[in-house]
């Protein structure tokens, strides 16, 4: 933005990802050989924030990392144009790490170390400066109690998106989901996360939730969204090839915010989100094939 303020502030894990391919998952007490292994910068917070920044959106990352966080990855984040004054290094935890294992059918299993973002409420450090002056604040993986406290602190400022992602399976109770929704304007989830939310809230369909925007991504079938009470279908836009699904949902969210930043309406921004995610799956890693905005527009053109 012209005055240097972030348009978007992102709360989520900054993670070191190890992406591994195997022919099949091992049985109990069995080992299988690794076919390929890639170590990359990742995490939901990183993926959304860096992709948005690379697309030209003034974006702040609001997150905690350990003192072991590699300088080369910090440099990558700075080079993307991220606002990083609220990425804080702490000594209490090592940095978050994820081992992502894909089999030959591209089914995925993940072993995850939370690091400081999963225990942020114990760190006694509120990261609210960037969000309070942003247009949008996006809360994804991390400590539910901490995120609710930040949402409360910045209420009345940014439009708030609640996106618990894979943490909804193990960290978000029904009570915390309700509290976060009461402080949010939007909900993002995939179809599997939607089922957990539905079960925890005792509802039949996440589309019954009273938010201005509810988005449920559905893989190759595209997405379903409720925009101010109206249900719309968002098409899946195909890429040139498929190599790895890691980070596709994060790219979708980044593309959505870029669409809004560029002046498109919510429905159009969701189509642009679908086009953005279609590039990421073409290569291994969530941040290895970030498109230029002109490429996103070209791929989305016939759907707009």
Please, how many CA atoms are within 13 Å of residue 263, restricted to the half-sphere of its CB? 1
* Tokens read off for 30: 């069995």
* Domain 8-26+34-303, classified CATH 3.40.50.2000, yes or no: no
pLDDT surpasses 90 at 106:
no
pLDDT tens, residue by residue, 174-198: 999 999 999 999 999 999 999 999 9
Rounded Cα gap, residues 85 and 63, in angstroms: 10
The pLDDT tens digits for 46-101 are 999 999 999 999 999 999 999 999 999 999 999 999 999 999 999 999 999 999 89
User: Rounded to an integer, what distance in angstroms lies between the CA atom of residue 215 and that of residue 203?
Assistant: 16
Looking at residue 3, what is its pLDDT? 63
Which one-letter DSSP state was computed for residue 236? Answer: P
Domain boundaries, the chain: 8-26+34-303
Q: What is the pLDDT of residue 2?
A: 46
Binned at pLDDT 50, 70 and 90, residue 244 comes out as low
From CA 110, how far away is CA 20, in angstroms rounded?
Answer: 10
Which pTM was predicted?
A: 0.91
Q: Give the closest residue to 237 by CA, choosing from 217, 262, 254, 257.
A: 217
| Three-state secondary structure string covering 77-91 | HHHCCCECCCEEEEC
pLDDT tens for residues 247-298? 789 999 999 999 999 999 999 999 999 999 998 877 877 777 789 999 999 9
């Amino acid at each position: 933005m012209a005055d240097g303020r972030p348009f978007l502030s992102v709360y989520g894990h900054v993670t070191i990802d190890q992406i591994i391919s195997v022919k099949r998952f091992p049985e109990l007490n069995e080992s299988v050989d690794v076919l390929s292994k890639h170590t990359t910068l990742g995490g939901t917070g990183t993926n959304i924030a860096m992709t948005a920044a690379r697309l030209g959106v003034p974006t702040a990352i609001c997150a905690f990392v350990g003192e072991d966080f590699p300088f080369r990855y910090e440099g990558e984040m700075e080079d993307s144009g991220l606002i990083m004054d609220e990425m804080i290094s702490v000594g209490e935890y090592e940095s978050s790490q994820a081992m992502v294992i894909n089999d030959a059918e591209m089914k995925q299993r993940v072993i995850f170390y939370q690091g400081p973002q999963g225990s942020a409420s114990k760190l006694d450090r509120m990261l609210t400066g960037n969000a309070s002056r942003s247009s949008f604040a996006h809360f994804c993986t991390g400590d539910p109690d901490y995120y609710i406290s930040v949402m409360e602190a910045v209420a009345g400022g940014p439009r708030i998106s609640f996106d618990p992602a894979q943490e909804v399976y193990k960290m978000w109770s029904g009570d915390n989901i309700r509290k976060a929704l009461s402080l949010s304007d939007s909900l993002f989830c995939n179809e599997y996360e939607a089922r957990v939310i539905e079960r925890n809230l005792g509802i039949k369909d996440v589309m019954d939730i009273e938010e201005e925007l509810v988005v449920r991504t559905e893989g190759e079938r595209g997405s379903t969204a409720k925009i101010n009470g109206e249900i719309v279908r968002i098409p899946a836009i195909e890429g040139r090839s498929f190599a790895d699904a890691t980070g596709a949902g994060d790219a979708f969210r980044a593309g959505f915010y870029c669409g809004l930043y560029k002046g498109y309406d919510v429905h159009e921004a969701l189509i642009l989100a679908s086009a953005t995610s279609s590039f990421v799956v073409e290569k291994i890693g969530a941040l290895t094939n970030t498109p230029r905005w002109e490429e996103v527009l070209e791929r989305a053109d016939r759907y707009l």
